[in-house]
Each structure stands twice: as structure tokens, then as C-alpha cells.
Chain A
Amino acid sequence: MSDRIMGGLGLLLALFFIWQATLIKESFISDPVGPKIFPIIIGVLVGLSSLAILLQPDDEPEWPDFSRFFEVGLTVAVMVAYAYALPTAGFVVSTAVAAGYLSWRLGTPALKAVIAGVVISIGIYVVFHLILGLSLARGPWGF
């Protein structure tokens, strides 16, 4: 069933892609092929392979149960929040929180996870910023 859903989505994606490709504005000077044709070929390729998957699906993969899906979703949310927090809260603080959260969700007891987060964050800061001189996000406190 998962494969059929993927095939169906792929087919929709292909149609959308081809439709968008036809909307590309041609420039007044163009080569014989132009900017539209190759994307349309790709769209056809995606469409055909999706159709093949739809018609001949593989065995069902092992999906995790709902709680794990929720877990993955929550982690994605944390990562997105992390990306937004970086410029405002600075590297060390946001990384300590995000790494600690990840470590906790991967099975570390809460207190140890906090320590792990701080250690990972400071470790990366020392190695990459202080030693290697990579520029990391600076927060209001300069780190």
C-alpha cells in the first residue's frame, strides 16, 4: 500500500512538474531546446517510474508505530526551531538544547542528556570555532 501511495504521489508530482515546466517564460533568444524541454523529459521519467511503482508495488516496508512517527515529527520540529534559534540565541545555547533533546530522545536518561548536550555543544565550539576558526552563529553574548 505504501508503494501505491508513493506511486500516486509521484504521478501527481510529475504532472505538477510538467505543468510548471510549460509555464516557464521563454526568453527572446533561445537555443533550439530551450529551458522547458529537459524538465518535461524529467517529468515524464518521474511519471512513468511512479506509474510502474503504482502498478507493481513491493512488499510493505516496516513502518514504526504511531508514537515513533510522532517522535520523528517532534524531532523535525526541534530541528526547525534550532535553525531559527541559531541567529538569535547563538550557537552554544541552541546547540546544547538541541543536542541534549536528541540525546534524550535516543534513550539517554534526562540528566545525563543535559550534560551530553552541553558537552557536545562546547566540544564543537572549541574544536570548530576556537581551533579551526570556523564562523558559527553568534548570539547576544557573542557565542
Chain B
Amino acid sequence: MDTLSALAHGFTIALTFENLGLALIGCFLGTIIGALPGLGPSNGVAILIPLAFSLGLPATPALILLTSVYYGAMYGGRISSILLNIPGDEPALMTTLDGYPMAKKGMAGEALALSGIASFVGAFFATWGLVFLAPQLVKVALLFGPAEYFALFALAFATLGGIASRNQAKAALAAGLGLGIAMIGVDGQTGVPRFSFGEVHLYDGIDFLVAIVGLFALSEVFIFLEHRGTEKATGDASGIQLGRLTPPLSMLKQTAPSMARSTVLGFIAGVLPGAGASLGSFISYSVEKRLVDKNNTFGTGDPRGVAAPEAGNNAAAGGALVPMLALGVPGSGTTAVLLAMLLALNVTPGPLLFTNNPDVVWGLIAALFIGNFMLLIMNIPMVSLFVRVLLVPPRYLMPAVAMISFVGIYGISGSTFDLMVMVFFGVLGWLLRKLDVPLVPVILGVLLGNQMEANLRRAMTISDGDWSALFASPLSIGLWLFAFFGFILPIVAGRFFRPKFARTDSEADPD
């Protein structure tokens, strides 16, 4: 009952004029960001963080704005999947399989409406899951000492490559790079400068916002520049008739069990570390295909094949917020970016967040509920508006994205040096993506590196330098075992997933 009264309190916070307005703007922007190929949840949120930060929004409104964008992007990704056969972001990849054939059969309107409803179901129930699961996880997390936290960070890095990881060595390299970047600057505990080579600008360390915007947003510009002329990301939506925008009841009835199963699966995939929304939609689609595809209609425009991945990916988006809020350890790319937002606002996520800043947590969760209803309304009757946005060609869109990235970073510090660092990270991100090195571990390393070290050193101070203290409690041993198997398992099981996950390096938005 505690939880429900806290939630009710959250609604009183979220239901202010300002917060509702921000949620509306966030949902709208998010849907556009998700729908546009080349802009996905993580780089969309990444560009907006510095802006929200420079605008001086307080923590709760800023978080409401950005999580609305996050949820909105998850809804929006399906629009271009269905109409153009180009996923608007990576989680929407599976939606192309049945969504586009449906559109070709003249059922584009039905597919959009059905996937909108599936998105709503997934996100709505996942938000309930968040309400009930997060406080439970907080209770566990309160038992954590520094040694357990250190193990938890190790677990997050070890599993971040995910079950679908193609090469664990590259995931490990990425994590190491991120952690290494976090080490630059003055050491928080002893005050000695590290890896700053006498450069004063580096004493403060590399600002993670600069790194994130460079890695995610600018690298996308370089990818487009490289593929210019091949027109891989421009499609023509003008020829498709939307048709009716309400799915027939029989279709809803037919797809309801798929939505229910996918919501559960997606939520679990989201909560687990290292598995974001992409895996949620992938697993949902595969399971549904195995369970209900009796007549081999999947892949030819089966409505269940549209409902399943959409419910799955939106449920996973909600599930991924659980570890991020309760433990302070994000499990996916976009939640890593949201974590950056919290850190930038001086809000430390983790178990103490629920006791110290209940307004932030519950206001946010209430805003998610409200945002969901807004998104449902935006995404069904108003979907044709977003379809028109898809017609903006990347050659106009990407310059604007690049410039807004610069504006955001310049707004924080007003320093040319930071802009240079951002360009450097843009190039680095481009190269790493070409080489199939995942970017999310880099970000997570930059974000969590200092905390991870601080926990290690705290644990060692308590044990007076006895390294076996890291493995002393059953809880930490359990976490280490999870981390170990989480790292090893993909090497064994990856062969099973690999052929199905197509190489998507150039258009992949990491989540």
C-alpha cells in the first residue's frame, strides 16, 4: 500500500501545468526522434540532455521531459518500420518484418494503429512493473556494501555486450576504453592529477555529456556522410495510403495473447542487465513466431508479428528503468544516457534515491503513466502528422542534428575545448561503429568509472587492503558468478543468435 500512496503523491507532482506541458513536448519530440531514421532514443536523448541542462530545468521536470522523449521514441520507431521498411531505431527492426508487408497489402493504417496499441499495452504494464519491482530491488540494494557495488558494476560491464553480442572481446575493449577515459582528471580521493598531461582543461576530467553527444549524435552524421548517395536511409512514404486508422476488433482479439506474452517477456528482458529494448522486441517476435505461427504467416504481414515486437520493445523500455533507478546501474544504451542526465543534475540514482528524492522518482513514474496516454492519442489519430515528418530528407536533418549538438555542448561550458573533445568523440564513435565495437560500454565506463573505483577503494579501506574482501559475502560471490557467466554465456550461446541478428552497424542506434 505504501507504494500506491507514493505513486498517488507522484501524481500530484506530475499533474502541474508545467510538467504536463513538458511531458507533452517530450512525447511529441520523442515520437519524431524515434520515427526519423538516423535518430533513435539514445542519440535523441543525448542531444537533449545538454539543452535541458543549460535551460536550467530542475531535476524532476528535466527528467519528465527526457523520459517522455525516451518512451516517445520507442513508440515512434515503428512508423518508419511499417511505412518505409526502414527501422526508425534499432528496437523497431523486428517490426519491419511484418509491418511493411502489412502496409504493402494496403493495411498501413491498421498496422500503425495496432502497433500503437501494442506499444501502449507494453509500456503501460511495464510501468506498473516498474512501480512494484523497483522498491523491492531497492530493499535488496540497501544490503549492498562497497564490495557488492563493485561486483555489481563488474556485472553490468560483463553483461553489457548482451546475449546477442558478436564479439565479447570488443565489448570488453569498449568498457575498458570508457573506464580509462573516466580516469582522466584529478583523483577524487587523494587529489593528484591523473592522465592529464599538464593540460589544465583535463583536470576536471572529460565531461560525460560531451562524450555521449559526440559518440552517439556526431558519429551518426559521419555515418550519413559516408553513405551519401547510396540513399540507404531515404525512402518514399508518399505512395502509401494510410487507410483506416482503427484496427478491427477481431484483429485486437487475435493479437491480444501475443501482446500479453510479449509484454511479460519484454519487461524481463528490459530488467536484466545488458539487454535493452532491441533484445526485448527480438525475443518477443521469435517466441511468438515459434508459438503461434501455425500457417507460416509471420513475415507476410501477420498482425501478431506487428503486435509482438512493439509490445516487447516498449515493455523492455519500462523494464530497463528498474535497474537504472533502483541500483543506479543502467542496462541499456538509452538508460545509460538517462543516468547521465541524473548525474548532470546532481541526483544520484540508486537505493537512496527512493528515500532521499521520492519526489523525483514518483513524479517521474506518474509522468510516465500520463505520457503513455498522451502517446496513445498522438500515435493513433495523429499519426499522419508524423508520417509527414518522415519526408524530411537526412541531408537537411543531419546538419540540424549536428548543429544542435554543438549548441547543447557549447551551452554548458561555452568552451571551444569541449567542442573539440566532442568532435574527437564523434570520429572515435564512427570508427568504433565501423569496427563493430559497441558504444554503450564506452558510455557506461565513462559514467560509472569513478564510482566503480571509489567503491573498490572504499571496500579496501574497510578491509585494510585485504583483496579477498571483494569476495567475502554470499551476495558479492553471487554477483561475481553472474558476471562471469554473463560474460562467458554469449561466447557459447552467441552462435545461436548471431545469424538472426543481421549486421546493423551503420544504422544501429544502440539500445
Contacts and interface: CB of A to CB of B under 8 A. Distances in A.
B433 to A, nearest CB: 9
Interface stretch (B222-230, B381-389, B471-479): B222-230
B192 A52 contact: no
Given A35-B187, A38-B183, A43-B180, A124 B172 contact: no
Contacts of A116: 395-396, 399
Interface string B212-238: 000000100110111011000000000
Nearest to A54: B169
Interface residues of B, number: 65
A55 to B, nearest CB: 9
A72 B430 contact: yes
Contacts of B398: 102, 106
Interface in A106-143: 106-108, 116-117, 120-121, 123-124, 128, 132-137
A121 B404 CA distance: 10
Contacts of B495: none
Contact of A58 (B166, B189, B218): B166
Interface in B414-456: 414, 416, 419-420, 423, 426-427, 430, 434-437, 449, 452-453, 456
B348 interface: no
Contact of B194 (A39, A64, A121): A39
A95 B404 CA distance: 10
Contacts of A6: 435, 437
B172 A106 contact: no
Given A38-B457, A76-B427, A105-B225, A86 B416 contact: yes
Contacts of B286: none
B169 A52 contact: yes
B169 A53 contact: yes
Contacts of A121: 403
B395 A107 contact: yes
B411 A99 contact: no
B354 interface: no
Given A75-B225, A102-B398, A58 B456 contact: no
B403 A124 contact: yes
A79 to B, nearest CB: 5
Interface in A51-98: 52-53, 56, 58, 61, 63-64, 68, 71-72, 75-76, 79-80, 82-84, 86-87, 91, 95, 98
A72 B399 contact: no
B445 to A, nearest CB: 9
A46 B465 contact: no
Contacts of A117: 399
A89 B453 CA distance: 43
B391 to A, nearest CB: 15
B192 A26 contact: yes
Given A49-B170, A106-B225, A33 B465 contact: yes
A87 B416 contact: yes
Contact of B400 (A10, A24, A120, A137): A120
Contacts of A43: 176, 180
Nearest to A10: B173
Given A87-B416, A103-B399, 14 more contacts: A33-B456, A34-B190, A35-B194, A38-B457, A39-B195, A63-B434, A76-B426, A83-B406, A83-B420, A84-B416, A102-B398, A120-B403, A124-B404, A136-B411
Interface of B: 51, 54-55, 166-167, 169-170, 172-173, 175-177, 179-180, 183, 187, 189-192, 194-195, 218, 221-222, 224-226, 228-229, 394-396, 398-400, 402-404, 406-407, 410-411, 414, 416, 419-420, 423, 426-427, 430, 434-437, 449, 452-453, 456-457, 460-461, 464-465, 505
A-B residue pairs, 10 tightest by C-beta: A32-B465, A83-B419, A46-B176, A52-B169, A106-B395, A102-B399, A49-B172, A49-B173, A27-B190, A99-B399
11 contacts: A24-B187, A25-B192, A27-B191, A31-B457, A52-B169, A53-B169, A87-B416, A106-B228, A128-B404, A128-B407, A128-B411
